[in-house]
Amino acid sequence: MNVILTAEDIAVSFGSNHVLKSVSFELGAGEVLGVIGPNGAGKTVLLNVISGIQKADKGKLVFKGQDLLKQSVVQRARNGFGRTFQIPRSFSQMTVFENCLVGAVFGRDMTERASKQKVREVLELIGLEQKKYEFAGKLGLLERKRLEIGMALTSDPKVLLLDEVAGGLTESEVTEVLEIVRRIKSSGIGIMWIEHVLQTMLSGTDRVMLLAEGTNVISGLPEEVMASPEVERVYLGSADNILKRKRKKFGAGPEKGDCENRE
Amino acid sequence: MTHKHVLSSAYKLIGIKSGVIVAAIIALALLPLYGSAHAINVGILVFSYLALGQMWNLLAGYSGLVSLGHQAFIGIGAYTLAVVTVSYGGGFFMSFLISIVIAVLFSLVISFPIFKLSGVYFTIGTWIVSESVLMFFRNWRFVNFDAGMNITRAFRIPQENLYLGALALGIVSVALVYFILRSKMGLSLMAMRDNPAAAEVRGVHLYKTKLICFLIASTFITITGVLLYMNIAFVMPGPAFGIDWAVSMVFIVVIGGIGTIEGPIIGAAIYVFLRQFLFNFPGMSLIILGSIAVIVILVAPKGIMGAIHGKFGFELFSVRRKMED
């Protein structure tokens, strides 16, 4: 694997709340790394740290031999980091074409004229060529999610950070988004993908990293990670805790120690 | 319709638009030859307010920087004119040059603290700056405290010259905003207005973009202040730094159409004519102006030009980008 991004011991706190205690990972070119974890695990915070929106308390983030944590949001965007937001943040009073043009012009520091070909290619990829002169504020959710990906792609990113691009979409819409992600991956861009719709993400990722309690608990092939008891523990709690909750809800139930014998 | 037909229709439309604009400018430039003194005076006000409105629109309508403090720059322009011509015996050209330097320096100084604020806090911040400057001038012996200064030299300027100056200022303000918005900077301004955080993630340098826009608007408003006070010829801190100027700019842009270049043109004309008409009803004028603003906001939230554009798609100065351009 040709590693393009390395994170070491990343930590972020909001007051006394240690959202990320120590997160380390590697991302390869053309690799899709899925990040899973329960609500509040710090997945979006991690993407914010990588894109520069959130400052890290400590750690190292190495890209092309440079420590990214010393760079501003704009520098990171221009150095090859594209991202989407959980709730699409398109420029509502600008057209689809202009939205993509912003990424192409400022993400690559080029003129508008020199950026049009790039925008044309991206609009074709995300399937919004026919709606290029519509205002972004008037698009439906799927189109806004596509546009969000398009805006990130126009800056020619080396690393693409996807935050819940399939959230809120129907099954057929999710399939469309998945196809777009596959096409992006084939162009050699490293993708880090957060998703609550696990089945969707797992079918499109090369590796999965489980994030919980501020650390990356486990990472590996999707099927290996999903088969791990750690996933069940993180999402549902320990077996003892599950039984305790059941007893509390339904009254009498299996006695303490039953969980050890259940297999 | 073939590609050639579409192109030829587009060229025809552009030709008609350009023809109308050129004809209107020539007719307005010749007004001193056929217009009355009153018409010329109204013209000075319309074009001066157009320049103010256009700059406020650049800040609020296209960049999301809603300022209620840019009257400070009108006052700075007015006092620069007074001090340069009265205290130092300088000329008008010198007044313009010095006012530009002061406006740029003052903008740079205040931008540092107020750019740390955003949204409504930015608006309040600009207002506080302007009120502070007002207080400073009221207590400054050099400018004769609250008693004001007579700009004696200004009495000798022919109204026709002032009119042509105001017309030039109005036209330049429209052209300047148009070319800024058509440039790379315009793209960054509109992105910043719609979503600053997203714009930054896409590579837009927010501080630099804000600063350039703020410097341009402040400097142009200062120059307009010099010209306005060449017409008024008497400056006092209260009126020169008064919130009334900001209210006028907001009214012009809101009525005409925020985020459109044509909006301040229509807004300035309506505002000046209303003020002329309401001159005989001093107690009622602000109530009537306020009521009109409320009605327009309720009926056409995007102003007159916004409503026309929404209904008919008409734009005289389009800043939309096209793939084919």
What are the structural domain ranges in chain B?
34-242
**Strand, helix or coil at B148?**
coil
Is B204 close to A106, i.e. CB distance below 8 A? Answer: yes
Q: Which residues have a Cβ under 8 Å from the Cβ of B110 and sit 6 or more positions away?
A: B129
Distance of residue A116 Cα from the nearest chain B Cα, in angstroms: 7
Residue B204, chain A, CB below 8 Å: the answer is yes
Is residue A205 domain-resident? yes
Residue A203: give the domain boundaries: 1-80+157-250
Distance of residue B302 Cα from the nearest chain A Cα, in angstroms: 12
Is B323 close to A93, i.e. CB distance below 8 A? Answer: no
Give yes or no: residues A21 and A74 share one domain: yes
- Identify all chain A residues contacting B195, using CB atoms and an 8 Å cutoff: 89-92
Residue B116, chain A, CB below 8 Å: the answer is no
CA dist A17 and B62 (Å) reads 39
Query: Closest chain B residue to A112 measured between Cα atoms?
Result: B184
Query: Closest chain B residue to A79 measured between Cα atoms?
Result: B203
Cβ(B43)–Cβ(B273) below 8 Å:
no
User: If you average pLDDT over residues A163-179, what whole number do you get?
Assistant: 91
CA dist B211 and B183 (Å) reads 16
**B194: nearest CB among A91, A101, A155:** A91
Dihedral sign computed on CA atoms, order B207, B212, B217, B218: positive
Is residue A260 domain-resident? no
ipTM topping 0.85: yes
For testing contact with chain B, the best of A93, A96, A106, A119 (most B CBs within 10 A): A106
- pLDDT the model gives residue A259: 46
Question: Which one-letter amino acid corresponds to residue B237?
Answer: P
Give yes or no: residues A104 and A213 share one domain: no
Percent of chain A residues past pLDDT 70, beyond the cut = 92
Question: What are A193-238's pLDDT values in tens digits?
Answer: 998 888 888 889 999 999 999 999 999 999 999 999 999 898 877 6
- Identify all chain B residues contacting A112, using CB atoms and an 8 Å cutoff: 184, 187, 321
Instruction: Give the strand pairing for A17-28 and A3-14.
Output: antiparallel
Residue B211, chain A, CB below 8 Å: the answer is no
**Comparing A61 with A203, which gets the higher pLDDT?**
A61
Cβ(B221)–Cβ(B52) below 8 Å:
yes
State which H helix or E strand residue A218 sits in. Answer: strand A215-220
Cβ(A208)–Cβ(A34) below 8 Å:
yes
Give yes or no: residues A64 and A178 share one domain: yes
Count the domains in chain A: 2
- pLDDT the model gives residue B297: 92
Is residue A222 domain-resident? yes
Is A91 close to B205, i.e. CB distance below 8 A? Answer: no
For testing contact with chain A, the best of B195, B201, B207, B319 (most A CBs within 10 A): B201
Is residue A168 domain-resident? yes
Question: What are A8-51's pLDDT values in tens digits?
Answer: 999 999 999 999 999 999 999 999 999 999 999 999 999 999 99
- Identify all chain B residues contacting A105, using CB atoms and an 8 Å cutoff: 184, 187, 203
Is B184 close to A78, i.e. CB distance below 8 A? Answer: no
Question: What are A175-199's pLDDT values in tens digits?
Answer: 999 999 999 999 999 999 998 888 8
Distance of residue B320 Cα from the nearest chain A Cα, in angstroms: 8
Report the 10 Å Cβ neighbour count for A158: 18
Report which DSSP code applies to B4.
H
State which H helix or E strand residue A24 sits in. Answer: strand A17-28
- pLDDT the model gives residue B325: 80
Is residue A258 domain-resident? no
- Identify all chain B residues contacting A155, using CB atoms and an 8 Å cutoff: 202-203
Residue environment code for A26-43, b if the CB has 16+ CB neighbours within 10 A, otherwise e: bbbbbbbbbbbbeeebbb
Give yes or no: residues A67 and A178 share one domain: yes
Residue B313, chain A, CB below 8 Å: the answer is no
Residue B197, chain A, CB below 8 Å: the answer is yes
- pLDDT the model gives residue A197: 81
- pLDDT the model gives residue B317: 93
Is A78 close to B187, i.e. CB distance below 8 A? Answer: no
Instruction: Give the strand pairing for A3-14 and A58-63.
Output: antiparallel
Burial class (CB in 10 A: 0-12, 13-18, 19+), B116: exposed
Q: For residue A229, what is the domain's CATH number?
A: 3.40.50.300
- pLDDT the model gives residue A245: 67
Question: What are B84-139's pLDDT values in tens digits?
Answer: 999 999 999 999 999 999 999 999 999 999 999 999 999 999 999 999 999 999 99
- Identify all chain A residues contacting B321, using CB atoms and an 8 Å cutoff: 95, 97-98, 101, 112
Greatest pairwise CA separation for chain A in angstroms: 72
- Identify all chain B residues contacting A96, using CB atoms and an 8 Å cutoff: none
**A107: nearest CB among B195, B202, B323:** B202
CA dist B186 and B196 (Å) reads 14
Place of tokens 């017409």: B231
pLDDT above 60 for B210: yes
Residue B322, chain A, CB below 8 Å: the answer is yes
Question: What are B286-313's pLDDT values in tens digits?
Answer: 899 999 999 999 999 999 999 999 999 8
Is B320 close to A93, i.e. CB distance below 8 A? Answer: no
CA dist A75 and A253 (Å) reads 58
pLDDT above 70 for A260: no
**Strand, helix or coil at A163?**
strand
Query: Closest chain A residue to B208 measured between Cα atoms?
Result: A74
Q: Which residues have a Cβ under 8 Å from the Cβ of B271 and sit 6 or more positions away?
A: B49, B53, B248, B251, B252, B255
When pLDDT is cut at 50, 70 and 90, the band that residue A263 belongs to is very low
Q: Which stretch of B1-15, B25-39, B125-139 has the lowest confidence by average pLDDT? A: B1-15
Give yes or no: residues A203 and A227 share one domain: yes
Give yes or no: residues A161 and A246 share one domain: yes
Is A78 close to B203, i.e. CB distance below 8 A? Answer: yes
CA dist B106 and B99 (Å) reads 10
- pLDDT the model gives residue A241: 67
- pLDDT the model gives residue A262: 43
Task: Using alpha carbons, select from A223, A208, A148 the residue that is nearest to residue A180.
Answer: A148
Give yes or no: residues A102 and A197 share one domain: no
Question: What are A143-160's pLDDT values in tens digits?
Answer: 999 999 999 999 999 999
- Identify all chain A residues contacting B324, using CB atoms and an 8 Å cutoff: none
Strongest mean pLDDT among A248-252, B219-223, B293-297: B219-223
Greatest pairwise CA separation for chain B in angstroms: 72
Give yes or no: residues A32 and A100 share one domain: no
- For B57, the token pair is 């629109």
User: If you average pLDDT over residues A59-63, what whole number do you get?
Assistant: 96
**A101: nearest CB among B187, B193, B201:** B187
Give yes or no: residues A112 and A137 share one domain: yes
Q: Which residues have a Cβ under 8 Å from the Cβ of A239 and sit 6 or more positions away?
A: A259, A262
Place of tokens 């001093």: B282
Is B184 close to A112, i.e. CB distance below 8 A? Answer: yes
CA dist B64 and B81 (Å) reads 31
CA dist B47 and B53 (Å) reads 10
Give yes or no: residues A245 and A176 share one domain: yes
Place of tokens 């009126």: B239
For testing contact with chain B, the best of A49, A53, A54, A98 (most B CBs within 10 A): A98
Give yes or no: residues A137 and A190 share one domain: no
pLDDT above 60 for B255: yes
- Identify all chain B residues contacting A83, using CB atoms and an 8 Å cutoff: 201
pLDDT above 70 for B10: no
Burial class (CB in 10 A: 0-12, 13-18, 19+), A96: buried
Give yes or no: residues A54 and A174 share one domain: yes
Is residue A85 domain-resident? no
- Identify all chain B residues contacting A150, using CB atoms and an 8 Å cutoff: none
Question: What are B166-208's pLDDT values in tens digits?
Answer: 999 999 999 999 999 999 999 999 999 999 999 999 999 999 9
- pLDDT the model gives residue A253: 53
